[in-house]
Chains A and B, each alone.
Chain A
Amino acid sequence: MRRSLSSQLVASILVNAVYEMKNYPINLVNTVLSPLSFLVVIDFVSRGALIGQAIEGGLIMSMFQSGMSLQGDISHLKNDFKLQDMLVSSPVSPAAYVVGMAASEIIYNLPALAILLVLGGIYIHPGALQALELAAALVLMFLTSITIGFMFATLSSDIVQSFAWSRLLTTVFTAITPVYYPITYIPFPFRYLAYLSPTTYVAEIMQNAAGFLKLSESVEIADWAVIVGLAAVLLVVVSRNARWKEK
């Protein structure tokens, strides 16, 4: 029998995004509100001065949250429903499953992303080159977070802990770190701590691209190098350590 790869990818999107949103629309409201709530607070506190940074922060949070959600969702399907066991003993490949699941997280976050992109168009109005730079940074952010998410998911057998980790990592990497505001707002000794988070580099790149922050060329290159390198290393680590068939 000839098997359709696109069907395999769409199956993950149907299960993890479309049917969940269709049968439980409240999840959709929650997903939209989560990144927008910070945006509203930052806009209110800064009296509109940081709206551009906050929109970029919302986009980063949305992408990072997508990757972290992948961790919780894969764990949920694997440990609570034993669905992954059913799929291991079937013709679907681990790569098709993970890519489909990752795509499902983007689809799930599409309404929030759409609102943020419209707001970005209004308040940031980037040129084509800037838009490309912003998109590339967000893709790298997503790639980094899904690799972290998938690694956690394959190693975890405790769904409650998985969801707790997912929420904790999202808060630490997107709400505390300088994602919704410029890094210059952080006093110097603590600024080094912010650089422990991959989201800081992505935020710097995006704020620089939109003109909210002036980075020297060397710092900008260093930021790109860190985020590209991290994504590459995590991809290698995940491909070596993530488990499909158990040993």
Chain B
Amino acid sequence: MDQLITEKLSKRYGSSSMALQEVSLSAPSSGILALIGRNGAGKTTLVRILATELAPTSGSASINGIDVMREDKRLRERIAIVPQEARTVAWMTPKQSTLTYLMWRGFEYSEAKKRAEESLARLKLDKFADTLNRKLSGGTKRKALAAMVLASEADIIFLDEPTTGLDPISRRDFWEILRELAKDRFIFLTTHYLEEAEQLADTLAVLGGGRLVAVGTVPSIRGRIRHQYSIKLPANSPVPGVAQGEVTTGRNGEVQILTNEDEAFAISKKLSVAGTRFSIGPVSLDDIFFQLVGESTQGEQEAATMGGGGGASW
């Protein structure tokens, strides 16, 4: 019963191309589900449909047996969302923001106040509780938004790119909050940061061009791709022959060899003997992502803004 299920979910905005194309997904609605994809892949559209903000063009969806379209009022009793580009209201404080959000959800003032204070303390925001939101740092504002949904009774929480724009330290702080949230709730998270997805996700879903490309745990998705190992060489390095894998060249001439374990170790021996600098490791989520969405050289440019993955070092 505790499942997120979509069946042939599609969305077309006006006469433009399809933002979502027959997305059929079945995943446990517990822990953290991370949805990754490039800009325009349809992540926000999918989140907005599941969070009852947007009607799909066709298809169906349910969360824990509740039909997203037909039983939207019932589902709204259990969900909360921090949308992409959400901001804390400038003229209020984190405490006032959390308190009023809870009151909008129907909590009495005294209960809302108690929950707001507890939530802010839980996220170590109590010292900023009465500071105007506009005076807070970007990271603290994001945490204040998380405090609002954390304080609520919702057990299904959608976070659309919650860490975009945060510095690496704030992002890692935020991960702790997400882990905290996920202890007793289902978090549906979209992210650009593959490292984030790898660190946090119990279930990973990959969207490419509005289509669902893969869904599963990170190891299970890794097991599905053709090349399990990655070797990276600096620009202008002599590249050994590759029989079973593939070679890609990045924008700055750096070379990546993706191949199976046996060939990877054979190549690494040759490179060691030749005295060539290189790194080797299991493919990172970045590599998996690019393989799944069909990106290669062009995708390397995206990697610069998507953060590094585990495994191979560059």
Interface residues of A (CB under 8 A from B): 1-5, 7-8, 10-12, 14-15, 19-20, 23-24, 77, 80-83, 85-92, 97, 245-247
Contact = CB atoms under 8 A, between A and B. Distances in A.
Given A77-B89, A91-B77, A92-B106, A86 B72 contact: no
Interface string B96-140: 100111011111110010000000000000000000100000000
B83 A19 contact: no
Given A1-B106, A92-B106, A245-B54, A86 B83 contact: yes
A101 B51 CA distance: 23
A246 B73 CA distance: 15
Given A19-B96, A82-B86, A92-B104, A10 B53 contact: no
Nearest to A77: B89
Contacts of B73: 91
Contacts of B83: 82, 85-86
B91 interface: yes
Interface string B185-197: 0000000000000
B86 A90 contact: no
B92 interface: yes
Given A82-B86, A246-B53, A90 B91 contact: no
B88 interface: yes
A92 B104 CA distance: 6
A4 B101 CA distance: 13
B184 to A, nearest CB: 16
B86 to A, nearest CB: 4
A82 B91 contact: no
B54 A15 contact: no
Contacts of B158: 89
B52 interface: yes
B2 to A, nearest CB: 19
27 contacts: A2-B106, A7-B104, A7-B107, A7-B108, A10-B103, A15-B89, A15-B100, A19-B91, A19-B92, A19-B100, A24-B91, A80-B87, A81-B86, A82-B85, A83-B89, A85-B48, A86-B80, A86-B81, A88-B76, A89-B51, A89-B79, A90-B80, A91-B73, A92-B104, A245-B52, A245-B53, A247-B55
B199 to A, nearest CB: 26
A68 B194 CA distance: 45
Nearest to A244: B53
A83 B82 CA distance: 9
B153 interface: yes
A77 B101 CA distance: 13
Interface residues of B, number: 43
Contacts, number: 114
A245 B76 CA distance: 12
Given A7-B112, A82-B86, A91 B105 contact: yes
Given A19-B96, A90-B104, A81 B88 contact: yes
B104 A89 contact: no
Contacts of B80: 86, 89-90
B86 A85 contact: yes
A95 to B, nearest CB: 13
Contact of A4 (B51, B87, B106, B148): B106
Given A14-B96, A82-B87, A89-B158, 19 more contacts: A1-B77, A4-B107, A7-B109, A8-B106, A10-B103, A11-B100, A11-B101, A14-B99, A15-B89, A23-B93, A82-B85, A85-B83, A86-B86, A89-B79, A89-B80, A90-B105, A90-B154, A91-B106, A246-B54
Interface in B59-85: 72-73, 76-77, 79-85
A11 B80 CA distance: 17
A50 B158 CA distance: 58
Contact of A91 (B76, B112, B132): B76
B87 A7 contact: no
- Between B91, B132, B158, the greatest number of chain A beta carbons within 10 A of the residue's beta carbon is seen for B91
